[in-house]
Structure 1
Amino acid sequence: MNVIFVNSTRKWGGVKTWSIDMAQAIRQMGHKSGIVGRPGPFVDKARSLEISAWDHAFGFDFNPASIAFFLNLFKKQRPDAVVCNISKDLRTAGVAARLAGIPIIQHLGSPGDVKNNFKTRLTQRLLRPCLLACSDYVRQRLLQSVPLYQSCIFDYIFPGTRINPVPPETVRTPKVIIATSQLNQDKRHMDLLEALAALNKNGYEFRCIIVGTGKDEYNLKQACHRLGLDELVEWTGFVTDVRAQLQRADIFVLPTGCEPLGIALEEAMANGLVPIARNIGGPTEIWHPQWTNLLIEPLSNEIGFQQAIAGLLDMADVDLLALKRDFHTHAGKTFSQEGQAKRLLTWLEQCI
Structure 2
Amino acid sequence: MRVAFLNSIEKDIYGGMEEWIRLAALALASKGHEVTLIGRKDSYFLQRAGEPFENINTFPLNIGGDFNPATIKQIKKFLDENQIDVITVNFNKDVRLGGLAARFNGTTKVIWSVGLNITKDKMIHKLLTPKLVDHVIVPSQSLKNEITELGYISKEITTVIPICIEDIELPEKAESRKKVISMYNLPEDSILSVTSGRLVEQKGHDFLIEAAPDIVKEYPQLRFLFLGDGQREYMYHAMITERRLEKHFVFCGMLDDVETHLSAADIMIHPSRVEPFGIAILEGMRAGLPVIASHVGGIPEVVKDGFNAKLIEAENVKQLSETVNLLLKDRNSLGQMAQNSRERFESEFSLEKMSGKLENVYCSVSSVNV
TM-score, normalised by the number of residues in structure 2: 0.87
CA distance 1:128–1:21, change in 2 (3 Å): closer
CA distance in 1, matches of 2:96, 2:80: 18
97-106 or 125-134: which moved more?
Answer: 125-134
1:246 CA displacement: 2.0
Q: 1:176 to 1:225 in 2, by over 3 A?
A: same
1:164-190 CA-to-partner distances (Å, cap 9, x unmatched) read 445985696432101112212232211
Q: Return closer, same or farther for 1:147/1:47 CA change in 2, 3 Å cut-off.
A: closer
Q: Does 1:309 align with 2:331?
A: no
Unaligned runs of 5+ in 2: 178-188
**For the structure 1 residues 257 and 63, does the alpha-carbon distance in structure 2 shift closer, same or farther, using more than 3 Å as the test?**
same
- What is the rounded CA distance, in whole Å, between the counterparts of 1:335 and 1:24 in structure 2? 15
How many residue pairs match? The answer is 348
Distance 2:80 2:256 in 1: 32
Q: Find the counterpart in structure 2 of residue 36 from structure 1.
A: 38
With normalisation by structure 1, the TM-score equals 0.91
Cα distance in 1 for partners of 2:128, 2:257 equals: 36
1:34 to partner: Cα distance: 1.8
* Bigger Cα displacement from structure 2, 306-315 vs 240-249: 240-249
Task: State the superposition RMSD in angstroms.
Answer: 2.2
User: 3-state DSSP class of the match of 2:247?
Assistant: coil
Match of 1:277 in 2: 293
Partner residue of 2:363?
349
Q: In the alignment, is residue 209 of structure 1 matched against residue 209 of structure 2? A: no
Distance 1:291 1:193 in 2: 26
**Aligned counterpart in structure 2 of residue 231 of structure 1, from 238, 247, 264:** 247
Matches of 1:195 and 1:41 in 2, distance apart? 33
On the 8 A contact 1:168/1:324 being kept in 2, the answer is no
Question: Does structure 1 conserve the Cα–Cα contact (< 8 Å) formed by 2:99 and 2:110?
Answer: yes
Task: List runs of 5+ in structure 1 lacking aligned partners.
Answer: none
**Separation in 1, partners of 2:151, 2:264:** 45
> Is the contact between residue 169 and residue 321 of structure 1 (CA under 8 Å) also seen in structure 2?
no
Q: State the distance in 2 between where 1:128 and 1:36 align.
A: 18
Measured against aligned partners, the alpha-carbon deviations of 1:33-75 in whole angstroms (never above 9, x if no partner) come to 1211123211111333433112223112222211121122223
Pairs within 5 Å for 1:1-352: 1-10=1-10, 11-39=13-41, 40-50=43-53, 51-100=56-105, 101-111=107-117, 113-144=118-149, 146-150=150-154, 153-165=157-169, 173-288=189-304, 290-291=306-307, 294-299=310-315, 301-316=316-331, 320-352=334-366
CA contact (8 A) 2:173 2:264 kept: no
Once residues 281 and 168 of structure 1 are traced to their aligned partners in structure 2, the CA distance between those partners, rounded to angstroms, is 33
Letter in 2 for 1:310: N
Counterpart Cα distance in 1 of 2:154 and 2:113: 16
Deviation per residue, 1:194-222 (Å, 9 max, x gap): 22222112344222210222221101011
Distance verdict in 2 for CA 1:329–1:83, change over 3 Å? same
Q: Is the 8 A contact 2:164 2:353 kept in 1?
A: yes
Residues 168 and 302 (structure 1), Cα distance of their counterparts in 2 relative to 1, 3 Å cut: farther
Measured after TM superposition, the shift of residue 320 of structure 1 is 3.2
